[in-house]
Amino acid sequence: MPLKESPSRKAFLKINLGILIIFSLIMLLPFLHVLAQSFSSSGAIDRGEVIFWPVELTFANYNYVFQDMSIWRAFGVTVFITIVGTIFNLIATATLAYPLSRQEFIGRKFLLFMVLFTMIFSAPLIPTYLLVQKLGMLNSLSALIIPTAISAFNFFVMRSFFLNIPQELIDSSRIDGCGELRILFQIVLPLSKPALATLGIFYAVFHWNTYFNALMYIENRRLYPLQVKLREMIVDDSLVADPTSDVFTTMLSTSPEGIKMATIIVATIPILMVYPFLQRFFIKGFLLGSMKD
């Protein structure tokens, strides 16, 4: 029987909801501010008139961004490492997680500990850099893909998923004459689509946002991924005392500020478009990963 709610309880619920709405606005308003600036004229931005709505509406900032070939190139590099990298990640993770999820694998405790240990004691930066250098991967996109082949956390998520696949299924496939590789690729992986999708998205977001590794390993400007290019634009243009910025502004009738904001919006949109899917998968994976075996 539902009890009638007391007035103080009702007031509490209202205040609670009110605070949550304010908190949500704090999440949203910065986006609106950036969006409004990206559509505003340089004069309006400089005078500090732009808050949440474009002032002196203009598309010049976006025109500039879309005409800049180096942004397109960086975008292409990022799409490439996201696709190739994610596929590589999934294969590498699955081929290690599958054997280590099987009871027949002697020595799996030791190997599991070996993986776990890297989560506690991670490889130091400089020796890792020297290794990548020695392997001749500097200034190549392989440096953004191969050294991050398996994330230990994702490995454990995938393994706990594989553990739930019934042993009988594996055994009967073996009796039918299936080799282990075929069991993995034709039986286990098709059954693991939810796990593959979840981890695929984990890995894809990681590659899409990759910045530090590219900063370290990539010097060739033609191979810059989007985040590095973006950072360069944000920093270059945010310098107030940049002597070239005046010339830049009058020449293009756009403002560095506006271009910066337009670039941020352009780089954010792909993530926001897949966000509803991301949210669902991520939450699933997050909870799956937090479960114990």
Partner 1 sequence: MMLKQNLRTMWKFKALYLIALPGIAYFILFKYVPLMGSVIAFQNYNIFHGVTGSSWVGLAHFEKMFSYPEFIRILKNTLLINLYDILFAFTAPIVLALMLNEVRKVVAKRLIQTIVYMPHFLSWVIISGIFIGVLSPSSGLINNFIQSLGYEPIYFLGDDSYIRSIIVGSGIWRDTGWGTIIYLAALAGINPALYEAADVDGANHWQKMWNITLPCLLPTITILFLLQIGNFLDFGFERVYVFLNPLNRVNGEIFDTYIYQVGLLQNQFSYTTAIGIFKSIVGLVLLVGANWLSRRATGNSLY
Closest distance to partner 1 from the beta carbon of 193 (Å): 20
Comparison of 95 and 244: residue with beta carbon closer to partner 1: 95
Closest distance to partner 1 from the beta carbon of 30 (Å): 5
Closest distance to partner 1 from the beta carbon of 124 (Å): 4
Residue 61: alpha-carbon gap to chain centroid = 26
Q: Element (H or E) spanning 204, and its range? A: helix 193-208
Instruction: Write the burial class of residue 84 (CB in 10 Å: 0-12 exposed, 13-18 middle, 19+ buried).
Output: middle
Q: Please, which residues have CB within 8 angstroms of residue 162's CB and are 6 or more apart in sequence?
A: 97, 98, 101, 188, 192
Comparison of 199 and 264: residue with beta carbon closer to partner 1: 264
Residue 208: alpha-carbon gap to chain centroid = 5
Closest distance to partner 1 from the beta carbon of 41 (Å): 12
Start-to-end CA distance of the chain, whole Å, equals: 40
Closest distance to partner 1 from the beta carbon of 152 (Å): 8
Closest distance to partner 1 from the beta carbon of 121 (Å): 6
Comparison of 99 and 252: residue with beta carbon closer to partner 1: 99
Tokens representing 197?
A: 């999708």
Rounded distance between C-alpha atoms, residue 227 and residue 215, angstroms: 9
Q: Element (H or E) spanning 278, and its range? A: helix 256-290
Comparison of 12 and 59: residue with beta carbon closer to partner 1: 12
Comparison of 118 and 164: residue with beta carbon closer to partner 1: 118
Alpha helical stretches, state H, 39-192:
42-46, 60-67, 69-97, 108-120, 125-134, 142-145, 152-163, 167-175, 180-182, 189-191
Comparison of 66 and 105: residue with beta carbon closer to partner 1: 105
